[in-house]
């Protein structure tokens, strides 16, 4: 009986650490999956633009650089994945408040518990993100830019829809 018990204990002692190692490896593999792959998102948004292979490669390169910059900003400001998740949840709820722009951002940051440095880091990351999107638009031909989805070009000042451009007031020379 004692030999059976001893054998069972040895078996458990050998199996448990290997299971724990497998779980740790799985965690490492999934560690980056919480973060979005910005190039995949951008490429999905630009599927109708008919990108060349060269443009796709350049977008991936630009995205990698932007992600590295944003990761450095997040790390320097002490923004953890948990804080980011909490902020995103609050952001969804706060948009219903009717506030916009700076007022909305301040509300979200306050509710998420962000300090001043972290709030500035969020603004800096938004600037990096906008710069990335502008760089992507700059890679495109005029024809490709015309095919851009409005959601992608919103906030870039790069493109007006034909209807808005038509209705926009024209500058008069004598008003300058």
Q: Is there a domain that residue 18 lies in? A: no
Q: Residue 132: inside a domain, yes or no?
A: yes
Residue 71, in any domain of the structure: yes
Of residues 5 and 138, more confidently modeled: 138
d(CA 103, CA 146): 32
**What confidence tens digit (pLDDT) does each residue in 59-109 have?**
999 999 999 999 999 999 999 999 999 999 988 888 888 888 888 888 898
Residue 125 in contact with residue 70, Cβ under 8 Å? yes
Q: What is the tally of structural domains in the chain?
A: 1
Mean pLDDT calculated for residue range 30-54: 76
Between 167 and 102, the more confident residue is 102
Range of the domain at 56: 35-79+114-150
Evaluate whether 136 touches 59 at the Cβ level (below 8 Å): yes
Greater pLDDT, 5 or 165? 5
pLDDT of residue 120: 93
16, part of any domain: no
| Residue 26 pLDDT | 52
Q: What is the pLDDT of residues 109-160, one digit of tens each?
A: 888 989 999 999 999 999 999 999 999 999 999 999 999 888 887 877 644 4
pLDDT confidence of 164, banded at 50, 70, 90? very low
122 belongs to a structural domain: yes
- pLDDT (0 to 100) of residue 21: 58
Residue range 23-29: mean pLDDT, rounded: 53
Can you give the pLDDT at residue 175? 43
CA dist., res. 51 & res. 45, Å (int): 11
Residue 1 lies in a domain: no
106 occurs within a structural domain: no
Is the residue at 127 inside a domain?
A: yes
Confidence at residue 30, expressed as pLDDT on a 0 to 100 scale? 47
- In this prediction, residue 121 carries a pLDDT of 94
């Amino acid at each position: 009986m004692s030999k059976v018990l001893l054998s069972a204990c040895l078996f458990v002692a050998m199996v448990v650490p290997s299971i724990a190692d497998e779980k740790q490896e799985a965690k490492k593999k999934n560690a980056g999956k919480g973060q979005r792959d910005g190039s995949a998102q951008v490429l999905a948004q630009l599927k109708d633009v008919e990108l060349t292979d060269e443009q796709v490669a350049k977008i991936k390169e630009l995205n990698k650089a932007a992600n590295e910059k944003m990761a450095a900003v997040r790390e320097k400001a002490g923004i953890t994945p948990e804080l980011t998740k909490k902020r995103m949840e609050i952001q969804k709820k706060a948009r219903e408040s009717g506030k916009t722009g700076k007022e909305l951002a301040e509300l979200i940051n306050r509710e998420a518990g962000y300090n001043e440095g972290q709030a500035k880091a969020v603004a800096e990351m938004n600037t990096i993100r906008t710069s990335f999107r502008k760089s992507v638009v700059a890679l495109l031909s005029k024809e490709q830019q015309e095919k851009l989805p409005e959601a992608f070009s919103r906030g870039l000042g790069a493109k007006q829809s034909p209807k808005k451009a038509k209705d926009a007031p024209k500058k008069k020379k004598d008003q300058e």
